[in-house]
């Protein structure tokens, strides 16, 4: 595990973008796993800047997002489809057919989960998986549980997660109760994982995730077993590491 701490948000975003852009420069047909939430917004801005400077093309890249809410219309401003369009996809040359996000409005959600796993499988392996961290240790929407699920599945969102995401909605009642998420098995199969965590409010959970016991109560703690994990932290998030 390689942990790097930054004293400014700008430097952290630049470093994360460099890793992602560097991956595409090395392997133009790279398969990327992408994340949503507040954390990657600045990283996507940097990537768009690199694209506009002609440093990278996404023509041959394939992307798989980690998750999507269930029963939130795709064009709702807080759907992860809208988020990805607004923050990344509408600014770069990634062909639509090469972007994948689970469909939380599918008539048969179980079938949609299987279809998503098959699409990931068909693309080969995810070369680089970008991850944020939930306050309860979730990755994607893999919430703390007595057992974790390998592949894409339907998940009941934890109250803590709904509270954390209420800031994006008018009220907590509007936050969906379920989501589809890539499973931890798929996440851990990625060749390289880039975990990015910002803010003092994540200092306790990042310590538990990286330096605590490996437990399904803290899904991110499973990342300790990954052979190629890069962790980028701001100094506030790194504040409680031993």
Residue list 82-111, contact with ligand GLP (CB under 6 A): none
69 three-class SS: strand
Residue 42 interacting with ligand GLP (CB under 6 A): no
Residue list 153-212, contact with ligand GLP (CB under 6 A): 161, 165
Nearest partner of 158 among 180, 179, 143, judged by Cα = 143
Kindly indicate which of the ranges 84-92, 117-125, 127-135, 215-223 contains the residues binding ligand GLP, using the contact rule CB under 6 A. Answer: 127-135
Answer for which of 35, 47, 94, 155 binds ligand GLP (CB under 6 A) is 35
Select 56 or 72, whichever has its Cβ closest to ligand GLP.
Answer: 72
Beta-sheet pairing, 99-100 with 128-131: unpaired
Answer for which of 33, 102, 132, 137 binds ligand GLP (CB under 6 A) is 132
What's the min distance (Å) between Cβ of 181 and ligand GLP? 7
Burial of 104 (0-12, 13-18, 19+ CB in 10 A): buried
Answer for which of 46, 67, 68, 112 binds ligand GLP (CB under 6 A) is 67
Report phi then psi at 2, rounded to 5. -120, 110
Q: Could you give the CA distance from residue 55 to residue 131 in angstroms, rounded to a whole number?
A: 23
Write out the E strands in the chain.
2-6, 31-34, 62-65, 67-69, 99-100, 128-131, 153-156, 178-181, 192-197, 229-234
Select 56 or 101, whichever has its Cβ closest to ligand GLP.
Answer: 101
Residue 36 interacting with ligand GLP (CB under 6 A): yes
The answer to whether the Cα torsion of 124, 137, 34, 118 is positive or negative is positive
What's the min distance (Å) between Cβ of 155 and ligand GLP? 10
Answer for which of 33, 37, 176, 219 binds ligand GLP (CB under 6 A) is 37
Yes or no: say if 219 and 187 are a contact pair by the CB < 8 Å rule. Answer: no
Summarize as ranges the residues that interact with ligand GLP (CB under 6 A): 35-39, 66-67, 132-134, 140-141, 161, 165
Name the residues annotated as catalytic: 67, 136, 138, 143
């Amino acid at each position: 595990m390689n942990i790097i701490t930054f004293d400014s948000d700008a430097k952290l975003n630049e470093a994360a973008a460099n890793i992602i852009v560097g991956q595409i420069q090395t392997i133009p047909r790279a398969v990327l796993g992408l994340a949503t939430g507040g954390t990657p917004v600045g990283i996507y801005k940097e990537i768009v800047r690199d694209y506009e400077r002609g440093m990278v093309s996404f023509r041959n890249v394939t992307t798989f997002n980690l998750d999507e809410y269930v029963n939130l219309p795709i064009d709702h401003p807080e759907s992860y489809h809208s988020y990805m369009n607004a923050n990344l996809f509408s600014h770069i040359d990634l062909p639509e057919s090469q972007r994948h996000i689970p469909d939380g409005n599918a008539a048969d959600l179980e079938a949609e989960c299987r279809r998503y796993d098959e699409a990931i499988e068909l693309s080969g392996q995810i070369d680089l998986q970008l991850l944020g961290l939930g306050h309860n240790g979730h990755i994607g929407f893999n919430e703390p549980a007595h057992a974790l699920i390998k592949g894409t599945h339907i998940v009941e969102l934890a109250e803590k997660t709904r509270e954390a995401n209420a800031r994006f909605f008018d009220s907590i009642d509007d936050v969906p109760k379920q989501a589809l998420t890539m499973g931890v098995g798929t996440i851990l199969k990625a060749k390289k994982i880039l975990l990015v965590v910002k803010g003092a409010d994540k200092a306790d959970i990042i310590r538990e995730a990286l330096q605590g016991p490996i437990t399904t109560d803290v899904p991110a703690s499973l990342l300790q077993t990954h052979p190629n994990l890069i962790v980028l932290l701001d100094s506030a998030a790194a504040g409680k590491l031993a």
